[in-house]
């Protein structure tokens, strides 16, 4: 397995803003009460498995995910216990990728990313997807159900949010836990879809999905990423050291990826 493949899972997670597809019609705006969400201060899965599928080839790589709510997300790729080859950190302002092998790093602000891509994303986008939450792609505050249009689909409900040609759709259960979702831009070839499975009770009794399945299409090929949380802990004391070593050299994303080939 190449070094590029070891980090590809991180890069796919950081590409969650890709979008595209036609909007659906016939939904009506509905007012509902607050929906169910996981309550936590810190969230972690010290044993996570990333399964990447590209061009009919697949492989697994181990890692971990740590979240300090509304503050910091840290994703680490560790093919072997105690051996970190790459790390991504996401804050309210920016994200950073460390290449431990070549001692390089790439960092970018959300402001610059949004300017380059023409779509607004923020920290809350990543936090919500990783913790089974509803979100509005262009807002950092928690959404109200009145922000969505709503339609019943058998025993599930579809929630839809559309703004500036960007469309979000969530399929939720009776307690408004997200079962599947999509994000796309009208007229663009990119799309992102994700779904949740393996719902099991956490220590506090809250039923939470232990697997997330992503499908990303750029108009020519489809990439898949599955994240499985082997063990989830909430409200534990965690180390969130996200400093960049002074010996590391800053590079562009293209330069970083060239080195990882």
Residue span of the structural domain in which 12 resides: 3-259
Write down the residue that tokens 């201060």 correspond to. Answer: 41
pTM confidence score: 0.84
Cβ atoms of residues 53 and 223 within 8 Å: yes
User: Which CATH number is 244's domain given?
Assistant: 2.50.20.10
Tell me the pLDDT band of 192, cut-offs 50, 70 and 90: confident
Name the range with the highest mean pLDDT among 78-82, 124-128, 156-160, 165-169: 156-160
Least confident of 55-59, 92-96, 129-133: 55-59
DSSP SS3 for 8: helix
Say what the pLDDT of residue 31 is.
54
User: For 234-259, how does the pLDDT look when each residue is reduced to its tens digit (9 = 90+)?
Assistant: 999 988 888 899 999 999 877 876 66
Decide if pLDDT at 25 tops 60: no
Distance CA(74)–CA(91), nearest Å, equals 9
Token readout for 224 is 């898949």
Say what the pLDDT of residue 114 is.
62
- Number of independent structural domains in the chain: 1
């Amino acid at each position: 397995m190449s070094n590029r493949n070891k980090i590809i899972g991180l890069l796919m997670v950081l590409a969650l803003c890709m979008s595209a597809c036609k909007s659906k019609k016939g939904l009506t705006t509905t007012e509902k009460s607050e929906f169910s969400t996981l309550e936590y201060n810190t969230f972690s899965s010290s044993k996570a498995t990333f399964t990447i599928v590209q061009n009919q080839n697949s492989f697994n790589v181990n890692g971990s995910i740590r979240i300090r709510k509304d503050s910091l997300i840290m994703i680490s790729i560790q093919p072997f216990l105690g051996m970190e080859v790459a790390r991504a950190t996401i804050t309210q302002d920016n994200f950073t990728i460390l290449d431990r092998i070549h001692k390089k790093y790439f960092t970018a602000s959300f402001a610059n990313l949004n300017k380059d891509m023409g779509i607004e994303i923020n920290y809350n986008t990543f936090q919500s997807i990783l913790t089974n939450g509803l979100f509005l792609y262009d807002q950092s505050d928690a959404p109200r159900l009145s922000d969505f249009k709503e339609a019943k689909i058998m025993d599930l409900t579809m929630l839809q949010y559309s703004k500036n040609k960007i469309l979000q759709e969530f399929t939720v259960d009776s307690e408004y836990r997200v079962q599947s979702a999509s994000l796309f831009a009208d007229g663009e070839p990119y799309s992102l879809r994700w779904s949740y499975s393996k719902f099991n009770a956490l220590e506090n009794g809250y039923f939470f999905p232990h697997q997330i399945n992503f499908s990303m299409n750029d108009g020519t090929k489809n990439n898949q990423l599955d994240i499985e949380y082997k063990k989830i802990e909430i409200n534990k004391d965690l180390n969130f050291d996200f400093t960049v070593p002074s010996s590391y050299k800053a590079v562009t994303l293209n330069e970083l990826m060239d080195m990882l080939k």
